[in-house]
């Protein structure tokens, strides 16, 4: 086995161990100090219905004392879905996005930085052309990121928004389960909601408008003007800077200024409706 494969396997193992540490409520460094193994309990059909993290006698007691779920001083019971890789990835990604408060000033500062970048004199026409294309794409990306961050935070900060999202989003209308499964389904509801939001393409403003309107009960701004900018962004990203008809797009400084102004007005309107301005 090559060193590269060894290194990749080590990284994967370390990532899994970090997830275990998170489940236990201890640090990764604490986990390294413990003697532990994972065992599973299965039914006659081989279906795993729970996992047990068993700790050896040599495990430091001061670290074990930090584990709230510890049973009999030597084990922790873990639900199968808690160890699911996708579950961990979704939660980690969600936490990374929502760990800070909604910061409209930071969004404005990002737009200002991009505007200042557009005013730099790149060496040669080709460099200036490429620079402005990337700035245009980044402005749309900043808007998309802000829309997604605001939506995620509000849905999980306010119970009524969470309920409204589940009751109105098409993802949940198609799901069927028996009444006896309701408690099991409820366990997974948070992660299903997180995945649904994370899977949303937030520059698809038709979908975003519907989500914001149905979830928050607000009047969403008209999207035609922003959609015209998003079409340009699509051509820059997916058609190497050419329209569907093959016409080359040239993004000048005035177009950058216009985009920033339109994005600012668009986000301002939403923030006023949400009372976060």
Q: Is the pLDDT of residue 164 over 70?
A: yes
Taking a C-beta distance cutoff of 8 angstroms, is the pair 32, 15 a contact? no
Q: What is the mean pLDDT of residues 229-256?
A: 89
In the chain, % of residues over pLDDT 70: 80
Identify the burial level of 102 via C-beta atoms within 10 angstroms of its C-beta, where 0-12 means exposed, 13-18 middle and 19 or more buried.
middle
Give the closest residue to 262 by CA, choosing from 218, 216, 230. Answer: 230
- pLDDT band, very low/low/confident/very high, at 64 (cuts 50, 70, 90): very high
Q: Is the pLDDT of residue 80 over 90?
A: no
- pLDDT band, very low/low/confident/very high, at 124 (cuts 50, 70, 90): low
Q: Is the pLDDT of residue 111 over 70?
A: yes
Q: How far apart are CA 202 and CA 194, in angstroms?
A: 14
Taking a C-beta distance cutoff of 8 angstroms, is the pair 114, 142 a contact? yes
Q: What is the mean pLDDT of residues 148-172?
A: 90
Q: What is the pLDDT of residue 277?
A: 66
In the chain, % of residues over pLDDT 90: 40
Q: Is the pLDDT of residue 33 over 60?
A: yes
Which of 63-67, 179-183, 242-246 has the highest average model confidence (pLDDT)?
63-67
């Amino acid at each position: 086995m090559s060193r590269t494969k060894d290194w990749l396997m080590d990284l994967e193992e370390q990532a899994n161990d970090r997830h275990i540490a998170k489940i236990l409520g201890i640090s990764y460094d604490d986990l390294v100090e413990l003697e532990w193994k994972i065992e599973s309990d299965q039914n006659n059909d081989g279906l795993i219905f729970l996992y047990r993290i068993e700790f050896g006698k040599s495990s430091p007691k001061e670290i074990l004392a930090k584990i709230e779920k510890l049973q009999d001083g030597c084990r922790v019971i873990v639900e199968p879905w808690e160890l699911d890789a996708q579950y961990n990835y979704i939660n980690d990604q969600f936490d990374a996005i929502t760990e800070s408060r909604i910061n409209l000033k930071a969004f404005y500062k990002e737009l200002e930085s991009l505007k200042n970048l557009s005013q730099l004199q790149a060496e040669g026409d080709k460099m200036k052309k490429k620079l402005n294309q990337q700035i245009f794409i980044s402005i749309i990306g900043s808007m998309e990121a802000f829309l997604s961050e605001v939506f995620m935070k509000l849905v999980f900060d306010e119970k009524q928004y969470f309920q409204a999202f589940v009751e109105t989003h098409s993802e949940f209308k198609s799901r069927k389960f028996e009444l006896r499964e309701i408690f099991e389904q409820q366990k997974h509801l948070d992660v299903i909601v997180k995945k649904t939001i994370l899977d949303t393409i937030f520059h698809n403003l038709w979908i975003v408008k519907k989500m914001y309107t149905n979830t928050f009960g607000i009047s969403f701004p008209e999207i035609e003007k922003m959609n015209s900018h998003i079409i340009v962004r699509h051509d820059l990203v997916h058609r190497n800077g050419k329209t569907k008809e093959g016409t080359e797009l040239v993004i000048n400084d005035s177009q950058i200024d216009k985009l920033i102004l339109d994005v600012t007005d668009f986000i301002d309107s939403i923030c006023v409706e949400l009372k976060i301005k």
